[in-house]
């Protein structure tokens, strides 16, 4: 588990193995599972190393196999295109020769143009909400205290967190809204900024799907893919608002989309992912 902001930033300290080839490590949790957002963020950093002078504007990844955090992950980048404005890279993340994740990242030179966006949705101010650790204090004995462990980000839920929603008799809506900010200083590097957005945007969209799918955080699920479009840099020292909704669930798969806004109301990024809930096995 990522406990401190330093743990998050350490994800992006990739080792160069050769031309367009890199290696990264992750914290090793008890189940040795590599979190999808972590490997996606590392893939973006690897691709950025080959697109100097250009900034990420989108990332699309598919998660193909479960990774083992006890071993490093190799990132192989292929330079597909370098145009006057846009550059495209393919990234394969592998362990022991098997592909864990494959994706495309696109980078852009700076372009001046007209700008527009959807307005930030109405929501209570973060100062009026409890930190997630305080909300989940009644469940502190579960999972060895995992619910109330230290976290790199101060997270505050507008809607009931999934663990609290589990104990409610009301049907959970397909929405999850949170405020978040870093517990520490984030480097000004715009690529690091985009990598952190990739990680954070992938962690919680599943929560908007649990109630409508009749699932809980205890049920087995698999993240199939994740996409993020970067619109503006995020200021992680101030509050960011992340609205996540699930427009549909079918065939054991649930789609979740999300938008991240800064405190001033500027749209920072848009994300989408699909989650698979396998059918229960018959005993």
- Tokens for 109, please give them: 């030179």
Query: What's residue 139's pLDDT?
Result: 85
Average pLDDT over residues 24-51: 95
| 144 and 83 part of one domain | no
Burial of 233 (0-12, 13-18, 19+ CB in 10 A): middle
Residues 71 and 153 in one domain: no
Shared domain for 170 and 282, answered yes or no, is yes
Q: Name residue, tokens 């900034």.
A: 55
Q: Which residues of 139-176 are buried (b: 16+ CB within 10 A; e: fewer)?
A: beeeeeeebbeebbbebbbbbbbbbebbeeeeebebbb
Residue 53 and residue 172 in one domain: no
Q: What share of the chain is helix, strand, coil (3-state, %, to 5)?
A: 20, 35, 40
Give yes or no for residue 58 having a pLDDT over 70.
yes
Lowest average pLDDT, out of 16-30, 109-123, 134-148, goes to: 134-148
Residue 54 lies in a domain: yes
Mean of pLDDT values over 120-125: 96
Position 110 pLDDT exceeds 90: yes
| Per-residue pLDDT reduced to its tens digit, 140-174 | 777 666 677 888 999 999 999 888 888 877 778 89
Are both 179 and 218 inside the same structural domain?
A: yes
**CA nearest neighbour of 8 among 33, 37, 48, 30:** 37
Distance CA 162, CA 172 (A): 9
Q: What is the pLDDT of residue 282?
A: 65
For residue 138, pLDDT over 90 is answered with no
User: Is there a domain that residue 278 lies in?
Assistant: yes
* Number of domains the chain contains: 2
Mean pLDDT of 230-238: 95
Asked if 97 and 54 sit in the same domain, the reply is yes
Look up the domain containing 98 and give its range: 1-109
pLDDT in tens, 8-18: 999 999 999 99
Confidence (pLDDT) at 136: 87
How far apart are alpha carbons 68 and 29 in whole angstroms? 10
By C-alpha distance, which of 237, 200, 206 is closest to 224?
206
In a domain, 136, yes or no: yes
**CATH code, domain carrying 50:** 2.40.160.210
pLDDT above 60 for 92:
yes
> Does residue 120 belong to any structural domain of this protein?
no
Given a cut of 80, whether residue 69 has pLDDT beyond it is yes
> Could you give the CA distance from residue 37 to residue 250 in angstroms, rounded to a whole number?
23
244 within some domain: yes
With 60 as the cut, is the pLDDT of residue 255 above it? Answer: yes
The sign of the CA dihedral 185, 15, 100, 66 is negative
**pTM reported for the whole predicted model:** 0.95
Position 116 in a domain: no
Residue 216, in any domain of the structure: yes
CA dihedral 90, 224, 135, 143 (to 10 degrees): -100
Contacts of 259 by beta carbon, 8 Å cutoff, 6+ apart? 118, 242, 243, 267, 269, 270, 271
Residue that finishes a domain, picked among 53, 77, 109:
109
The answer as to whether 122 is a domain residue is no
Is 94 in the same domain as 172?
Answer: no
Q: What was the pLDDT predicted at 55? A: 97
Q: Does residue 172 share a domain with residue 82?
A: no
Q: What per-residue confidence (pLDDT) applies to 194?
A: 98
The per-residue pLDDT for 280 is 78
At residue 268 the predicted structure's pLDDT band, cuts being 50, 70 and 90, is: very high
Share of the chain above pLDDT 70, in %: 98
Looking at the fold, whether 78 and 147 belong to one and the same domain comes out as: no
Supply the mean pLDDT for the chain.
94
Given a cut of 90, whether residue 22 has pLDDT beyond it is: yes
Secondary structure tally for the chain: helices H, strands E: 6, 12
Are residues 9 and 91 part of one domain? yes
Indicate whether 35 and 72 sit together in one domain.
yes
Confidence of residue 283 (pLDDT cuts 50, 70, 90): low
Q: Which pLDDT value is given to residue 142? A: 79
């Amino acid at each position: 588990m990522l406990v401190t902001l330093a743990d998050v930033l350490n994800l992006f300290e990739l080792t160069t193995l050769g031309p367009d080839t890199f290696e990264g490590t992750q914290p090793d949790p008890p189940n040795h599972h590599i979190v999808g957002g972590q490997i996606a963020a590392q893939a973006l950093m690897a691709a950025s190393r080959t697109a100097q002078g250009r900034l990420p504007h989108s990332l699309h990844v598919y998660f193909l196999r479960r990774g083992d955090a006890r071993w490093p992950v190799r990132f192989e980048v292929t330079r597909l295109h370098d145009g006057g404005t846009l550059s495209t890279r393919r990234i394969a993340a592998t362990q022991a020769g098997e592909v864990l994740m494959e994706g495309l990242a696109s980078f852009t030179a700076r372009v001046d143009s007209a700008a527009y966006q959807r307005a930030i949705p109405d929501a209570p101010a973060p100062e009026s909400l409890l930190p997630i650790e305080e909300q989940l204090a009644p469940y502190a004995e579960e999972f060895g205290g995992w619910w109330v462990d230290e976290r790199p980000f101060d997270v505050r839920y507008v809607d009931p967190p999934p663990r609290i929603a589990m104990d409610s008799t009301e049907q959970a809506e397909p929405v999850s809204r949170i405020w978040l900010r870093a517990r520490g200083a984030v480097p000004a590097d715009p690529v690091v900024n985009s990598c952190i957005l990739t990680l954070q945007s992938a962690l919680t969209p599943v929560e908007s799907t649990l109630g409508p799918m009749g699932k809980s955080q205890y049920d087995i699920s698999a993240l199939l893919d994740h996409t993020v479009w970067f619109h503006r840099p995020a200021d992680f020292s101030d509050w960011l608002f992340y609205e996540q909704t699930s427009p549909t669930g079918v065939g054991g798969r649930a789609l979740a989309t999300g938008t991240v806004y800064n405190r001033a109301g500027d749209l920072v990024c848009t994300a989408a992912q699909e989650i698979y809930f396998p059918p229960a096995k018959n005993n």
